[in-house]
Amino acid sequence: MNVVHARPVTPDNFSRYGRVYDLTGDTDGKVVWTVGDGWNDGFTKTPLIDGRGHLGITRGGQAPWDCRAMERHPLTEEAIFCLAEPVVLAVAPASDGEAPDRDEIEAFVIAPGQAVVMDRNVWHDACRGVSGPAPYYWMAVCGLGESPWVAVSGGPIKVSAAAGTGLTL
């Protein structure tokens, strides 16, 4: 079984799957920054996803794991953002195919303060924590029919949080 190592998500390396927002660095041009007496904040210039999304939470296990199945959403974007611990997201390109191809799977570490928004039809697994089980939030339009999980074409692939990500493993 081959291994795919996660790398820190950036707008450039995630662009084929969707968008990345950095809500901690005060420099993301897609974010409006405000400052007050003893606080600062930021919010996305545009709505996070297209449509009136539902907020959900998933309690993911820990990396590494065997990515055996993925899902995709043809009728909604999906945003993912973590609570307090970084998470690993495994994705494969959007396609009209019946299943994601294991040779096209990539993995990204999403740090607290970052949000990713996957385009419609991007294949993805549930996230896992970098250094232990970790819950994370997601936002998508729910109630659009079934979102079946399908086996990865070519068999499972191990997904690992890569050493050298700058995060505690």
Q: Which domains does the chain have, with CATH numbers?
A: 3-161 (2.60.120.480)
Q: What is the pLDDT of residue 167?
A: 46
Q: What is the dihedral of CA 136, 142, 147, 152, to 10 degrees?
A: -30
Contact 122, 92 (CB under 8 A): yes
Provide DSSP, 72-97: --TT--EEEEESSS-EEEEEE---SS
The number of beta carbons lying within 10 Å of the beta carbon of residue 169 is 12
Measure the CA–CA gap between 7 and 5, rounded to whole angstroms.
7
Nearest Cα to Cα of residue 120 among 149, 150, 88, 91: 91
Contact 64, 6 (CB under 8 A): no
Q: What is the pLDDT of residue 33?
A: 93
pLDDT at residue 169, as a whole number: 34
Q: Rounded to whole angstroms, how far apart are CA atoms 152 and 142?
A: 23
Output the pLDDT for position 143. Answer: 79
| pLDDT number for residue 1 | 61
* Tens-binned pLDDT, residue by residue, of the chain (169 aa): 689 999 999 999 999 999 999 998 889 999 999 999 999 999 999 999 998 999 999 999 999 999 999 999 999 999 999 889 999 999 999 988 899 999 999 999 999 999 999 999 999 999 999 999 999 999 999 877 776 899 999 999 999 996 544 443 3
Q: What pLDDT was estimated at residue 96?
A: 84
The whole-number pLDDT of residue 83 equals 83
pLDDT at 166: 47
